[in-house]
């Protein structure tokens, strides 16, 4: 009986060890673009190490993890993988930002049937781009080749982030939240990474549209609109928090569950959020989905970000100054979208008018 080498034995089982080894080189190239001074060592070890940056009196570490969800199905269909890596980073770093944290390091997990070099390079390039936007370092990760577990050319992604904040500067500051506080919303980049199971049902199952179809109402092919990456709000928002340290009382990352589920997570029982839906221009993809899918307003606002990806709860007497700073010193489109009002018995904590 012929004895097989480990390479050949694994290859017959569907795993290419040489391809797996090449992953490390691709990952190192991506990580190099995100290098930060607090890193210790480099990718390739059994774990990643980093120092907490100097200057914190009582540093608190903030941790988050997330994925991209069924948006990945569209990346497979379009064979476009450069934006989902940005999505992966965004979903975790924006969450850490809600607590006032600066993301420090990011790790990724990618599982696939078979490692494909170009596909992997696109994914890791997107992850590196997301880390650069968030000013954090890609410190490590794991790529698993799992034949027989995934369909050909498909994969799954998960991301993990650690950030830091000064203990006395953690958000939300619920003791300061009160009726009269103003809600400042930052524009989203479209659907971001939520609601794609419903999106796919409406567009492709119920209406048999093609991913490459040009949609006049959107003035773009569906693929371009649906694969637009999630905005990363870290650097502009941290700049605002530095410029107006006492103005912001809480923040919200508008993800799965839309306005109705995410805003109450940072409020006190004594207040409700009153949203003026006409205070910003909702991107056309949301109206298009609502009309095509015959969605109620409640379903729309409960599923999608509807054009606002991030919200700051701001003291009323400082709201205009914060809004002006966003418009003058960042690239974010910022709008006053509502306010907090006293809660009433039997009243929803989020009301959209």
Share in percent of the chain as helix, strand, coil (round to 5): 40, 25, 35
User: What confidence tens digit (pLDDT) does each residue in 28-81 have?
Assistant: 777 777 888 888 877 677 888 889 999 999 999 999 999 999 999 999 999 999
Extents of the domains making up the chain: 7-169, 182-352
Q: Do 182-352 and 7-169 fall under one CATH topology?
A: no
168-177 confidence digits (pLDDT tens): 999 999 999 9
Could you read off the pLDDT of 122-160 as tens digits, one per residue? 999 999 999 999 999 999 999 999 999 999 999 999 999
**pLDDT at residue 29, as a whole number:** 77
Q: How many residues does the chain have?
A: 353
Closest CA to 116 of 149, 152, 85: 152
CATH architecture for residues 182-352: Alpha-Beta Complex (3.90)
The string of DSSP codes covering 188-238 is --SSTTS-HHHHHIIIIIIS---TT-EETTTTEEHHHHHTPPPP--HHHHH
Give me the tens of pLDDT residue by residue for the chain, a chain 353 residues long: 455 444 554 455 455 545 555 666 777 777 777 888 888 877 677 888 889 999 999 999 999 999 999 999 999 999 999 999 999 999 999 999 999 999 999 999 999 999 999 999 999 999 999 999 999 999 999 999 999 999 999 999 999 999 999 999 999 999 999 999 999 999 999 999 999 999 999 999 999 999 999 999 999 999 999 999 999 999 999 999 999 999 999 999 999 999 999 999 999 999 999 999 999 999 999 999 999 999 999 999 999 999 999 999 999 999 999 999 999 999 999 999 999 999 998 889 999 99
The set of residues, in sequence order, having a beta carbon less than 8 Å from that of 52 and lying 6+ positions away, is 38, 59, 61, 104, 164
- Say which CATH superfamily domain 7-169 falls into: PurM-like, N-terminal domain (3.30.1330.10)
Beta strands in the chain (DSSP E): 39-40, 49-50, 59-67, 102-112, 137-145, 155-166, 182-187, 214-215, 220-221, 248-253, 271-275, 308-314, 334-342, 350-352
The answer to whether the Cα torsion of 147, 151, 154, 155 is positive or negative is: negative
Tokens of 132: 């650069």
pTM as predicted: 0.91
């Amino acid at each position: 009986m012929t004895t097989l080498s480990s390479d050949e034995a694994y290859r017959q089982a569907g795993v290419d060890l040489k391809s797996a080894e090449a992953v490390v080189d691709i990952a190192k190239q991506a990580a190099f673009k995100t290098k930060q001074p607090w890193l210790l060592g480099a990718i390739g070890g059994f774990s990643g190490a980093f120092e907490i940056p100097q200057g914190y009196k009582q540093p608190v570490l903030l941790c988050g993890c997330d994925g991209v969800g069924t948006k990945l199905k569209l990346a497979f269909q379009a064979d476009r993988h450069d934006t989902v890596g940005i999505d992966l980073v965004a979903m975790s770093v924006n969450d850490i930002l809600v607590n006032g944290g600066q993301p420090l390091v990011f790790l990724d997990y990618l599982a696939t049937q078979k490692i494909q070099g170009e596909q992997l390079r696109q994914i890791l390039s997107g992850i590196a781009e997301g880390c650069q936007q968030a000013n954090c370092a890609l410190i490590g990760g794991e790529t698993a080749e799992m034949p027989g577990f995934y369909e050909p050319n498909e994969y799954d992604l998960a991301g993990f982030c650690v950030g830091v904040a000064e203990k006395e500067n953690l958000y939300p500051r619920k003791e300061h939240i009160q009726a009269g506080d103003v809600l400042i919303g930052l524009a989203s980049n479209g659907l971001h990474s939520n609601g794609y199971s419903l999106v796919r049902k409406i567009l492709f199952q119920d209406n048999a549209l093609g991913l490459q179809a040009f949609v006049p109402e959107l003035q773009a092919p569906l693929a371009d609109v649906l694969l637009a990456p999630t905005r990363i709000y870290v650097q502009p928002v941290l700049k605002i928090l530095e410029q107006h340290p006492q103005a912001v009382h809480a923040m919200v990352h508008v993800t799965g569950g839309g306005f109705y589920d995410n805003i109450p997570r940072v409020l006190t029982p004594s207040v409700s959020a009153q949203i003026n839906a006409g205070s910003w221009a909702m991107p056309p993809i949301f109206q298009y989905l609502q009309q095509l899918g015959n969605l109620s307003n409640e379903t729309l606002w409960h599923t999608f970000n509807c054009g606002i990806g991030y919200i700051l709860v701001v003291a009323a007497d400082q709201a205009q100054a914060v809004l002006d700073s966003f418009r003058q010193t960042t690239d974010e489109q910022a709008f006053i979208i509502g306010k907090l009002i006293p809660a009433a018995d039997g009243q929803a904590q989020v009301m959209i008018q």
